[in-house]
Structure 1
Amino acid sequence: MEKMKLKLLYSDLKPELELIEKELEQAVDSESLLLNDASLHLLQAGGKRIRPVFVLLAGKFGNYDVELLKRVAVPLELIHMASLVHDDVIDDSEIRRGRPTVKSEWNNSVAMYTGDFILARALERITEIESPRIHDILSKTLIEVCRGEIIQIEHKYRLDQSMRDYLRRIKRKTALLISSSCELGALVSGTDEKTAAHLRRFGYFIGMSFQIIDDILDFTASDQELGKPAGSDFIQGNITLPILYARRDPLIYQMLRENLNQDISDEKRLEIVRTIRTSAAVDEAKRMSERYLEKALKELDYLPKGPATKTMRKIAFFIGKRKF
């Protein structure tokens, strides 16, 4: 339901997004039946396609040409998809978006090579863009995404990590790819440098807000709404913002420490979820997300008024207020 509401906000982009969807299908096409099945399994699980949406909307501030815009939208979404497949292996995730993950449906080896294949397809598509600057931004974004994945592994089960550790991690995990989507959509459309910079910052701030809300929902939404078990982040050892705030309570800290990196029962998982959900941590994390949301909306104030700015504002509000 929430995903459908979000799609209504950019329903006027439906023809362009259908074109990008077809391009994604073509991009993951392979002579290997196994690679085909595994890649399409992930692609057909759907997703919000937030990154292609922001590429298209940013393109509205310049010379809008979907044929040019898809050249950055497709590789950016492929990079995101590859990171999801690799994430599921690292986190040993069985379910994503209510469906078995690639690693669950096949195995870790198939999942890793599928992720590598999708990433290689992204790099192949990038070569279609005749702009060293865009190549530079995309390559640096990819490097930072990879660094973020390694940092996430290093930070697993570390209950003593700092707020700075967390924020730097989600910057690389989520915010930079959204930020690059906005910036590249603007640049490929020939917008001026000032507009491109405001769009880049908007993407960064909304990306930070987006990930914090995701981390909150892991404790406040149900298993059915999430399409995976609530509290999965904690079970997988990913220390998120609600946990960082909740750990300040000595009793909660003790509970978290005792159950972290343990094979816990469903009953214990739900007890931990309820404890975090009813603590002050959720409201504190929401306030942090709202601060990033406010910064994102402020960047939009510098952009020309029009349908694209209006839609970006609506999406930003939706991301900051969504329930699951």
Structure 2
Amino acid sequence: MKLEDIYFRMRRDIKEIEKEISMTIATDQKVLHQASHQLFKAGGKRIRPVFVLLAGHFGNYQFDKLKKVAAALEIIHMATLVHDDVIDDADKRRGKLTVKAQWDNKVAMYTGDYLLAKFLQLITELENPEIHKILSKILVSIVEGEIDQIKDFNNWEQSLKQYLRRIKRKTAILLAVSTQLGAIASDAETKVVRYLYQYGYNVGMAFQIIDDVLDYTGTTAQLGKPAGSDLSQGNITLPALYAVHCSDERDQLLELIKNDQISEKIDQVVACIKRSDGIEYSKRLAQRYIIKAQEALEKLPNIKEKETLFEISEFIAKRTY
């Protein structure tokens, strides 16, 4: 089963959400309009909107409400990516020029701010204080995660706990909230909301760990950027942390990374990490999170959307791009 097969069943609803996003971020200010649509037009997995829609079926499914929640969450995600590309000095994302590359850092930062402002405008159309409260908290968590990532650039001494806390704030929390808010917007039972949150959180943790693995194993065509890009930018992820702390490659790796000249030796560093057990260790940890996500699913009512969520978790565990 491919993610595209799952999405095909939901294509009409996803198209409506994309229309909602496009209309929400539209503006007469020419540069802002073009820049805010830059990443949107590049596509993406749209996994957050999909999670919102699927979770909505566990309550009183109301597409008009769910559409706004899904669009708002995707706009938050877009805003963080635009800001990320400035911090990472990235010229490409999804194989396309970033806002920062096509314009400059100033336009990119204001574009990210604009997207966050449009998200706030959209979500106020939902008269549910609980949704507003949850979203305000996750915005704080996301920013904290980004600051943690900056603090940990080139920090080879960071612990597993630091890494996991960072990816929770960077990725997992937004996926967890996608399933949570889809259920809340549909007035699902409290325990159903809780299990869907647990599913989204654990899938999100696995998703980011696998994403970090793919930075070493994926091709430029698959990733839209060269392998080892995260490491070149100073972002030390789990495969590298395992290699430097727990593998026989430690001494050679430390020799390669001394003097902070990783980008000049990136091919050697990547090869060293791939020879360690870091990639396999990361995959095993991701699988543990997938199992936890599927255990949460087991507690949910037996409807067809439950099977779809299971299929998505299986895809994430095995994805190669």
Deviation at 1:41, TM superposition (A): 1.0
Deviation at 1:7, TM superposition (A): 2.1
- What is the letter of the counterpart of residue 156 of structure 2? L
Contact 1:10–1:311 under 8 Å retained in 2: no
Give the 5 Å matches for 1:120-139. 120-139=117-136
Which residue is 1:216 aligned to? Answer: 213
**Partners in 2 of 1:6 and 1:65 — Cα distance?**
24
The TM-score, its normalising length taken from structure 2, stands at: 0.96
Partner SS for 1:300? helix
**Partners in 2 of 1:250 and 1:297 — Cα distance?**
35
Contact 2:59–2:187 under 8 Å retained in 1: yes
Q: Structure 2: where are the runs of 5+ without partners?
A: none
Which residue is 1:225 aligned to? Answer: 222
Q: Structure 1: where are the runs of 5+ without partners?
A: none
What per-residue deviation string (whole Å, max 9, x for no partner) do you get for residues 2-32 of structure 1? 9xx3121232211110000001111110111
What per-residue deviation string (whole Å, max 9, x for no partner) do you get for residues 98-129 of structure 1? 11111011110010010000111001111111
Which residue is 1:46 aligned to? Answer: 43
Contact 2:203–2:293 under 8 Å retained in 1: yes
Q: Given the superposition, is the C-alpha separation of residues 176 and 27 from structure 1 closer, same or farther in structure 2, using an over 3 Å criterion?
A: same
- What is the letter of the counterpart of residue 251 of structure 1? D
Q: Given the superposition, is the C-alpha separation of residues 255 and 104 from structure 1 closer, same or farther in structure 2, using an over 3 Å criterion?
A: farther
Deviates more, 1:108-117 or 1:10-19: 10-19
Give the 5 Å matches for 1:289-300. 289-300=286-297
**Partners in 1 of 2:255 and 2:129 — Cα distance?**
51
Deviation at 1:259, TM superposition (A): 6.4
Deviates more, 1:8-17 or 1:165-174: 8-17
Deviation at 1:58, TM superposition (A): 0.1
What per-residue deviation string (whole Å, max 9, x for no partner) do you get for residues 207-262 of structure 1? 00000000000001111211101101111111100011010232243145326455
Which residue is 1:163 aligned to? Answer: 160
Contact 1:28–1:40 under 8 Å retained in 2: yes
Q: Given the superposition, is the C-alpha separation of residues 27 and 252 from structure 1 closer, same or farther in structure 2, using an over 3 Å criterion?
A: farther
Which residue is 1:204 aligned to? Answer: 201
| Identical-pair percentage | 49
Contact 2:253–2:269 under 8 Å retained in 1: no
**Partners in 2 of 1:279 and 1:263 — Cα distance?**
20
Contact 1:157–1:261 under 8 Å retained in 2: no
Contact 2:256–2:262 under 8 Å retained in 1: no
Partner SS for 2:295? helix
Give the 5 Å matches for 1:252-291. 252-258=252-258, 260=260, 262-264=262-264, 268-291=265-288
The TM-score, its normalising length taken from structure 1, stands at: 0.95
Which residue is 1:69 aligned to? Answer: 66
Indicate yes or no: 2:80 matched with 1:83: yes
Which of these residues, 76, 98, 101, is aligned with residue 98 of structure 2?
101
**Partners in 1 of 2:91 and 2:172 — Cα distance?**
25
**Partners in 1 of 2:256 and 2:78 — Cα distance?**
31
Q: Given the superposition, is the C-alpha separation of residues 183 and 160 from structure 1 closer, same or farther in structure 2, using an over 3 Å criterion?
A: same
What per-residue deviation string (whole Å, max 9, x for no partner) do you get for residues 44-99 of structure 1? 01000000000000001111111010121111111100000000000111111111
Which of these residues, 4, 9, 32, is aligned with residue 6 of structure 2?
9
**Partners in 2 of 1:252 and 1:95 — Cα distance?**
31
Partner SS for 1:247? helix
Deviates more, 1:275-284 or 1:183-192: 275-284
Deviates more, 1:52-61 or 1:223-232: 223-232
Partner SS for 1:10? helix
Partner SS for 1:48? coil
Which of these residues, 191, 194, 210, is aligned with residue 194 of structure 1?
191
Indicate yes or no: 2:271 matched with 1:307: no
**CA RMSD across the alignment:** 1.3
Q: Given the superposition, is the C-alpha separation of residues 84 and 253 from structure 1 closer, same or farther in structure 2, using an over 3 Å criterion?
A: same
Which of these residues, 237, 241, 246, is aligned with residue 240 of structure 1?
237
**Partners in 1 of 2:184 and 2:105 — Cα distance?**
38
Contact 1:174–1:211 under 8 Å retained in 2: yes
Q: How many residue pairs get matched?
A: 318
**Partners in 1 of 2:150 and 2:254 — Cα distance?**
23
Indicate yes or no: 2:251 matched with 1:251: yes
Contact 2:262–2:269 under 8 Å retained in 1: no
